[in-house]
Structure 1
């Protein structure tokens, strides 16, 4: 019975998230109200609040899922022959692919000014923390293998990866016609600089 109840709760949660995404796409994030989301999902506004808390938390859930999918996929492709640069590029590329599918450019353009400062940025801290932790685990894997210097500050490297990937993604996602090829080349150049450094060996 507990399993059934949990499945029903998850289905309702997904129903609310799907309803919110449709409204965000149609009306924009700011113009969409909790009442509209509740009506679209066929539930009450207090139910929406009970499941998520508010609009920002729904948005966070919608954005976390593509990244979680990318992380799972990147992890599954990792083996003893993997290269640190290739692995970071693959992780960033998968996150970019799934996030571009998750939200239309119009919604990214609306959200862009709020993603790095203010309440929305604060709400998204757990999302950023999860990406940093994944990058950290990836870099630690290579450091233990001897592919990265022991002196490398993994926490700083993981934070730089997340922050730069975020900025580059927003630039790509808000382009009229996102140039994925140019973005991938640029990210490989930047991540290559991070991995190989600028000092003579």
Structure 2
């Protein structure tokens, strides 16, 4: 039992080291320019060992994106428990995500492309690792329970549409750029979506 636990701890430490080195290399040299061999060499492991932990390079980004989602969910849960209005919390999460994607602009496109991967298994893995729609669903649930959302669409459908819009608008911004900062682009998109999804007077500024 002890030897098994020790091996598991060693594996966790090795995975954490590979992950940390990979993200640092991505940020320093760019995702596309960084190879699995680069990551393995810098992590002091073999290329085969790297693929034992991450079957493809983009899988490292899924861990990275999952951490971001966890922080957003924690923030949303804390704010809702404090009694903050759900729509205010949604805008806070929206802004935080936009700020993060702006600061890590090079990492967002390959991460987003994984959700759109033509390989269904990889796309499913990415979707599960990046549950933005689940965070949005949690935030909007009080409004749904209070009858303040449209009744012809399920809460899940509304949340999925909002999350999908974030993905596509942010991906377009990262790939091509616009005259507006990403946060402004995302607020415009969210305002438009909520006008059609929520029965309310006014929109948070």
Q: Which residue of 1 aligns with 2:118?
A: 118
Kept in 2: contact 1:140–1:154 (CA 8 A):
yes
Matched, 1:141 2:142: yes
Q: Which residue of 2 aligns with 1:52?
A: 54
The alignment yields a C-alpha RMSD, in angstroms, of 3.3
Q: Which residue of 1 aligns with 2:157?
A: 156
> Which one is further off, 161-170 or 84-93?
84-93
**CA 1:74–1:98: 2 relative to 1, 3 Å:** farther
Aligned length: 195
> Which one is further off, 51-60 or 185-194?
185-194
Q: Which residue of 2 aligns with 1:171?
A: 172
Kept in 2: contact 1:84–1:147 (CA 8 A):
no
Match of 1:94 among 80, 96, 100: 96
TM-score where L is the length of structure 1: 0.76
Kept in 2: contact 1:67–1:99 (CA 8 A):
no
What CA distance in whole angstroms lies between the structure 1 residues aligned with 2:37 and 2:80? 44
Match of 2:192 among 190, 193, 196: 190
Q: Which residue of 2 aligns with 1:12?
A: 14
What CA distance in whole angstroms lies between the structure 2 residues aligned with 1:147 and 1:108? 33
Q: Which residue of 2 aligns with 1:37?
A: 39
TM-score where L is the length of structure 2: 0.74
What CA distance in whole angstroms lies between the structure 2 residues aligned with 1:149 and 1:81? 23
The Cα shift of 1:13 comes to: 1.9
In structure 2, stretches of 5+ residues that fail to align are 201-205
In structure 1, stretches of 5+ residues that fail to align are none
